[in-house]
Structure 1
Amino acid sequence: MQKNTLLCIAFFCVLAVQQIIAQIAEGNFKSTIAIKIPGNDAVNYPLWELEEEKATQLKADKDMPVVITRTVGTHLVTAKIENQSVSSVTPVDYLVEVVITAKEDIYFNFKQQINTTYSHDDCQFYMPGFWYRRNLRSPKEAPSFHTSDSWTVREDRLSVPMTAVFNEKTGEYFSVMRKDDFKHEALTTHKEGEVILSGKTSIGYTGFENVNNNANISFGFPYYETPKTYIRKLTLAPQVEAFQFLEKGKSITLSWYVQSGKVADFSGLIRQLWEYSYDIWRPKPVETTFSDDFVKETLTGFFTQSFVTDHPLKFNSGEGMVVATCQSLGRAEIGFVGRVLLNAFNALEYGQQHNRSELVSNSYSVFASYLNHGFTPNELFREFVNFDDNRLKTNILTHSIRRQSEGLYAMFHFLQYEKDNGRKHPEWEAKMKTLLDKILLLQNEDGSFPRKFNDDLKVEDGSGGSTPSVTVPLIMAYKYFNDKKYLNAAKRTADYLENEIISKADYFSSTLDANCEDKEASLYAATAMYYLSLISKGKEQQHYSDLCLKASYFALSWYYMWDVPFAQGQMIGDIGLKTRGWGNVSVENNHIDVFIFEFGSVLNWLSKRYDESRFSDFVTVISSSMRQLLPFENHMCGIAKTGYYPEVVQHTNWDYGRNGKGFYNDIFAPGWTVASLWELLSPGRTEKFLSK
């Protein structure tokens, strides 16, 4: 069986290689170099190929001040076959290397383009952590097909510097991935037009373009963003073309992997290319000396310093804070981004384990205050209260299914913990049943829940993209109250997720301040199926597990496998931040953060169930990397107070409103970052809860 499988792979690999060869031989691999003399417009040199014995010379019709050679060689990858890793003797991709040598001092931008020969109209497109299908869930103010059907972007926007084109009609795909030693970044004086870099950069570009209705993959060096560059949340600016200096007699070598293949659907593409990328990059854990215990002890600095007591509600101030001061505010947010109740539970559990009486008393005061003052007239959670100006963040009675669900999630952990330690809270249990019964009234016939609604349960945003967030507390309610109506409702959400989200590979609208393709939608979908798997058996459990696996690949695709370079003076680069293991947020919010919560536990569970070591290995990378910016004495990482973990980490040419690459936004929400890291370092909670 093993031999036959290898022969099949060898046959497929030969076909894949032949397709790549055909693209080059048929003239579908085009190249151009632009040379800029400062103070003058760049001159473009279309290139043609002069084949030689060892390498192909790229020549122009007129003299140019560079010598360019390109070699195309085979490359071995590891294939996953019947749960056994075997090295195929037949290459499935090509390594393309280009060497540019300057005959005189030059400033250049080198461009390449592969015509896949697929009809552009038949294709979906993929740039990991940034572009999914056609980004049609995103608005026209962000990169999407609403603005253009052709986009090239700088590589540091992407969790893997790759573009793939997927032909939906045939199942064929073509991908190009850059693989170099990314060490350098340089500043520019301008952000649009032709710009000369102030020094060396390692950052090139990648993307796709519609050329005569053929889908082309475009890639090159240094970066070149068209037709717009995305510089700020919902702000597109004119295109930018960067020019790198190359000294006379010096050379630069650029490398890309070119691959083609065939998959069943877009989900299959995401899985294939995530595994392929992982096997090439093989990200290693980041070397940090911060143990789990040290991280948690440091994070308690947030619990103690941010605690607010002078309002009817007691809470940790964790939303809308200024990075430079970390001064507490009178703003309490129950779910994302404040996670008031989850932080209270974490502080309570830790305080009792480590004899920290202040943490214990503070936490109990949070739950007591929310029992008495934390509900609306219709018995829903007061999601956001701003005591500083005596109003809510938005309309006084506007709610979100996500925040309500996250409040329920925290409360069930608290109630189960208290029950396990011989303490009962019948008033809280009654509140939870009432709230859940209200929530169930919102469930649609297809199993979905609306994204936003008012206190009278009138729907204000009927999008179902946030539905998986409520699956989690419904399963917890089923276990805690032993009432199957909650389980039945959870299973109905699973039907919706399978039919409308997972099967369509359409993960959207879970980020509360954006309505687009995002990481959290796929992460919550995977987590929801994880919960359903844990309380199921037999074929049903296998079904939910397979859906969990499929959604998890999408969530994983948002997490960086490589380390983005920073220029000197870009603070988080000067600190030494390694970006591998961090996740991009969404198409609209183009920054990295530590949103992980219990997804690490999901991946470890999948790793065992499917014998997939990549998952557990990558959890180790994530866990090691996400503790890098922990602020403590003499290691404050640009944060004013110990334990206030940063939020908006701006790693590319984009900002949330302030500061840009290499810095944080000036406003942040450490309430959720602390809660996320705490759950990452508290594995097994869900399995323990659902085993009761």
Structure 2
Amino acid sequence: MKIKSLLTVLFVWVSVLSFAQDIGFQYHITLMEPGNPAKSYPLKDGGNGSLSSKDPIPVEVIQRQINNGQTIKIEVSITGKENIYYNFEELIRLETFKHEDCEFLMPGFWYHRNLRSPKEAPSFATSDSWQVREDRLSSPLTGVFDRKSGNYYTVARLDDFQTESLTTHTSGDVILSGKTSIGFTGFKNVDGTSSLVFGFPYHEAPKTYIRKLTLVSPVRAFEKLAKGETRKLTWEIRKGKASGYSDFVADTWSYVFDTYKPKPLADVHNTAEAKKLLSNFYKESFVDNYDLKYYSGVHLRTDDCISTGSAEVGFVGRVLLNAFNALEYGEEVGDESLVRNARAIFDSYLSRGFTKNGFFREFVELSRNEEPQVYSIRRQSEGVFAILNYLAYDQAKGRRHPEWESKIKQLLVNFSKLQQPDGSFPRKFNDEFKIEDESGGSTPSATVPLTMAYSYFGNKRYLESARKSAAYLEREIISKADYFSSTLDANCEDKEASLYASTAMYYLAFVTSGKERARYIDLCAQAAYFCLSWYYTWDVPFAQGQMLGDVGFKSRGWGNVSVENNHVDVFIFEFATVLEWLANQKNEQRFSQFSDVIKSSMLQLMPREGHKFNIAKVGYYPEVVQHTNWDYGKNGKGFYNDIFAPGWTVASLWQMLSPERVEEFFARKKN
């Protein structure tokens, strides 16, 4: 036993030594006197934890390292010898990591090298070194993965995040108006070697991203430290090994979940309360003065929520899914007006909602008689999804709709014409089947209704088409961890591509068995980890006067949208249910625990009387929730954009609040 214990101690000591030899530390502190240029001072480790400058500086910096073999905890204390304004930076050079061999992770913001993103957004197309403020990230962490060795390093901030302050400028050297908890993190190419860089307060470089496709000059913040005052900061460096980028992302998500331990919010609405509030959207948004009847759910102003002339089948409007929600709920609670209006929507789309070749008229601006002639596999798929739910629901009650069935069968014929030899579906096309955007990133949105159509109609052609699309997803999307271009208002890495991929495999698992089903479960989990990396495990702080902070908003459980659209939202639909199911299939309770966080957190901004959260009408759930120094066009951090689309937010939350739907759909007998 003594020999075994000695060998264990020796192994741990060798691991610690190896970890320490792999990395090198560099330190800088930058000081600024108001009205004068900032000056940066390199710091050296004096051997006793003191980080000192060769020039006299009015600040004391002490660092303590706690090495646990696979992690090094770094504790930094900064004390002012007189009143100072400072910015501290630490760099860890990964001596064995060639930058050209590495890929990077800043959860919810940066994947691989962000090469799917345009040069107007953060991407390797602009620079191979990036550092950003922590509240841009779903977890305040940066990771570097070496493709050749499979080794990776991460650095995570471990402090409490309680405060934020305002600044007068978005670029340059800025002095904070008060205390902040927000630092920065990122990666750098240092003479061909990858390095982790982090510090406090925030410093974004080489650019700062202030709104959609708008990069401006870098920003560096300075916090005031009074004479004798000390700021304590903590980070953790972690080393690991992964079989590939997906494994790296999955391992990192498990680590951040265990590190930040997000808990569900207390005192949130139960399902009945939430649906009652959301149902007001169906009552107030119904528009019946055009040939197409619809719920007005896109291009609304937050300050009045007055209905517009825009009717949209999928993506952000979700008219048909909302009609199904209203029908089901109206019958459940005995509200005839909800039922009547929902059926009016279905009837109007049945008679006037299709193009000459059988596609949904997916977006129509009725007030101006404008209608784009380019269609998308995503909106078309979301329309089929809604109608199949409607048909199965009514069929279970003894009501049949043969005309609708005929329309959907024709649309599925169109799908077969669009599906490419590799199994993918083009992102955009016209009514003559001419492909306008061949990208396959939206393919999983089609897999879902194809699987449902097989179950409803019993036609194996639909299942074969779904299987073919799943093979494409496995080969080109999931195995390469390349989730992109699912959202229609951006063309980049995005959350919804991984969410749809995971959901697609979940649906396929209901109609398959044996080894095939087991493979779909594995793929579902792999995509789910990637999707989870977009969701916040921590609560970003807000300054007083930023509405979201003033009302007590917690960001945990909300997902960032994409590299281009750097805000959080409630896009969830079935994903919380998928996580619950995966928890049992894969014996991974983190999934169900985080599902509980999502389901509680996403209801916290529910507009209701006395608690409108800057939304004019009850139940019109907010969309563009701006949680970091970025805006979609108006207002910035702590507020919403002034234009929003409650059509999809209501539909998303309603689907989350109806976890039994999917299993019930597949449990019904085929025709």
Bin of the TM-score, shorter chain as denominator length: over 0.9
Deviation at 1:288, TM superposition (A): 2.8
Question: Which stretch of the first structure deviates more once superposed, 360-369 or 7-16?
Answer: 7-16
Which of 299, 302, 309 is the matching residue for 2:288?
309
Q: 1:626 aligns with which of 589, 602, 621?
A: 602
Hey, what does 2:300 align to over in structure 1? 321
The structural deviation recorded for 1:690 is 1.3
Task: State the shift of 1:188 in Å.
Answer: 0.4
SS in 2 for 1:115: strand
CA distance in 1, matches of 2:347, 2:367: 21
Alignment partner, residue 373 of structure 2: 397
- Structure 1 residues 344 and 11, CA, compared in 2 at 3 Å: closer, same or farther? farther
CA contact (8 A) 1:299 1:674 kept: yes
Instruction: Look up the equivalent residue of 1:322 and give its one-letter code.
Output: R
Q: CA deviation at 1:11?
A: 8.9
Residue 79 of structure 2: which of 101, 104, 107 is its match? 101
Contact 2:570 2:653 in 1 (8 A): yes
The within-5 A match list for 1:292-303 is 292-303=271-282
The CA deviation string for residues 263-290 of structure 1, in whole angstroms up to 9 with x for no partner, is: 1100010011000111111100112331
Q: Distance in 1 between matches of 2:498 and 2:488?
A: 14
Write out per-residue CA displacement over residues 451-497 of structure 1, whole angstroms, 9 at most, x where no aligned residue: 00000010000000000000000000001100000000000001100
Matches within 5 A, 1:586-601: 586-601=562-577
CA deviation after TM superposition for structure 1 residue 320, in Å: 0.5
Q: Distance in 1 between matches of 2:244 and 2:121?
A: 26
Q: 1:476 aligns with which of 434, 443, 452?
A: 452
Shift of residue 92, structure 1, vs aligned partner: 2.7
Residue number in structure 2 paired with 1:548: 524
Q: Which amino acid letter does the alignment assign opposite residue 103 of structure 1?
A: K
Residues 540-549 or 12-21, more deviating:
12-21
Q: Please list every run of 5 or more consecutive structure 2 residues that lacks an aligned counterpart in the other structure.
A: none
Partners of 1:8 and 1:405 in 2: CA distance: 59
Is residue 30 from structure 1 mapped to residue 23 from structure 2 by the alignment?
no
**2:248 match: secondary structure:** helix
Corresponding residue for residue 192 of structure 2: 213
Query: Counterparts of 1:415-434 in structure 2 under 5 Å?
Result: 415-434=391-410
Match of 2:310 in 1: 331
TM-superposed CA distance for 1:535, in Å, is 1.2
Question: Equivalences for 1:153-552 in 2 at 5 Å?
Answer: 153-392=132-371, 396-552=372-528
Distance 1:497 1:9 in 2: 44
Alpha-carbon displacement from aligned partner over 1:89-123 (angstroms, at most 9, x marks no partner): xx531211000011000000000000012110000
In structure 1, distance between residues paired with 2:277 and 2:646 = 13
Per the alignment, residue 44 of structure 2 pairs with 48
What corresponds to 1:82 in structure 2? none
1:564-621 per-position Cα deviation (integer Å, ceiling 9, x unaligned):
0001100111111000000000000000000000001111110001111100010110
> 1:57 and 2:36 equivalent?
no
Partner of 1:80: none
Kindly indicate whether residue 73 of structure 2 is the aligned counterpart of residue 131 of structure 1. Answer: no
Residue identity in the other structure for 2:303: A
User: Within 2, Cα distance between the matches of 1:125 and 1:112?
Assistant: 18
Aligned 8 A contact 1:153 1:223 in 2? yes
Does the CA-based 8 Å contact 2:265-2:600 persist in structure 1? yes
Query: Counterpart in 2 of 1:86?
Result: none
**Would you say the 8 A contact 2:576–2:656 is kept in 1?**
yes
In 2, distance between residues paired with 1:171 and 1:7? 29
> What CA deviation, in whole Å up to 9, does each residue of 1:174-223 have, x standing for no partner?
11000111001000011100000000000000000111001011000000
Contact 1:14 1:92 in 2 (8 A): no
**Inter-partner Cα distance in structure 2 for 1:380 and 1:261:** 49
2-side partners of 1:599 and 1:47: how far apart? 47
Matched residues in 2 for 1:18 and 1:687: separation? 52
Secondary structure (helix, strand or coil) at the match of 1:298 reads: helix
User: What's the counterpart of residue 150 of structure 1?
Assistant: 129
CA distance in 1: counterparts of 2:13 and 2:459, whole angstroms = 56
In 1, Cα distance between the equivalents of 2:6 and 2:504?
A: 39
DSSP-derived class of the 1:51 partner: coil
Residue type of the partner of 2:77?
V
* CA shift for structure 1 position 687: 1.4
Distance 1:484 1:152 in 2: 50
Amino acid at match of 2:594: F
CA contact (8 A) 1:16 1:261 kept: no
Q: CA offsets per residue over residues 334-367 of structure 1, 9 Å max, x none?
A: 0010000000000000000100111000101010
Indicate the SS of the match to 1:441.
Answer: helix
Moved more, 532-541 or 666-675: 532-541
Query: Quick check: 2:305–2:617 contact (8 Å CA) kept in 1?
Result: yes
Paired residue type of 1:106: I
> Compared with structure 1, are the counterparts of its residues 386 and 41 closer, same or farther at alpha carbon in structure 2 (3 Å cutoff)?
same
Q: Are residues 391 and 166 of structure 1, via their aligned partners in 2, closer, same or farther at CA, if it must alter by over 3 Å?
A: same
Q: In the alignment, what sits opposite 1:68? A: 61
Q: What is the alpha-carbon distance in structure 2 between the residues aligned to residue 611 and residue 527 of structure 1?
A: 18
SS in 1 for 2:206: strand
Distance across 2 between alignment mates of 1:244 and 1:186: 10
CA contact (8 A) 1:526 1:548 kept: yes
For the 8 Å contact 1:16–1:93, the answer to whether it is kept is: no
Deviation at 1:10, TM superposition (A): 9.1
Partner of 2:588: 612
Counterpart of 1:568 in structure 2 is 544
What is the alpha-carbon distance in structure 2 between the residues aligned to residue 663 and residue 466 of structure 1? 30
In 2 relative to 1, CA 273–627 (structure 1 residues): closer, same or farther, beyond 3 Å? same
Q: Is residue 88–residue 199 contact of structure 2 (8 Å, CA) maintained in 1?
A: yes
CA contact (8 A) 1:633 1:642 kept: yes
3-state DSSP of counterpart to 2:418: coil
Report deviation, 1:9. Answer: 11
Partner Cα distance (1:587, 1:38) in 2: 35
**TM-score, structure 1 as length reference:** 0.94
Give the whole-Å Cα distance in 2 for the aligned partners of 1:7 and 1:167: 32
Partners of 1:445 and 1:31 in 2: CA distance: 54
> Do the aligned partners of residues 186 and 607 (structure 1) sit closer, same or farther apart at CA in structure 2, a change above 3 Å counting?
same
Question: Retained in 2: the 8 A contact 1:227–1:238?
Answer: yes
Q: Is 1:664 the counterpart of 2:663 in the alignment?
A: no
Letter in 2 for 1:99: S
Partners of 2:358 and 2:460 lie apart in 1 by 22
Q: What runs of 5+ residues in structure 1 fail to find an aligned partner? A: 76-90
- Structure 2 distance, partners of 1:409, 1:92, is 47
Deviation at 1:74, TM superposition (A): 4.2
Question: CA shift at 1:397, angstroms?
Answer: 1.9
Distance verdict in 2 for CA 1:208–1:284, change over 3 Å: same
Structure 2: distance between partners of 1:289 and 1:479: 36
What is the 5 A alignment of 1:665-684? 665-684=641-660
Shift of the alpha carbon at 1:15? Answer: 5.9
* Aligned CA distance change for structure 1 residues 508 and 9 (closer, same or farther; 3 Å): farther
What is the CA RMSD across the aligned residues, in angstroms?
1.5
Counterpart CA distance in 1 for 2:129 and 2:314 is 38
CA contact (8 A) 2:268 2:603 kept: no
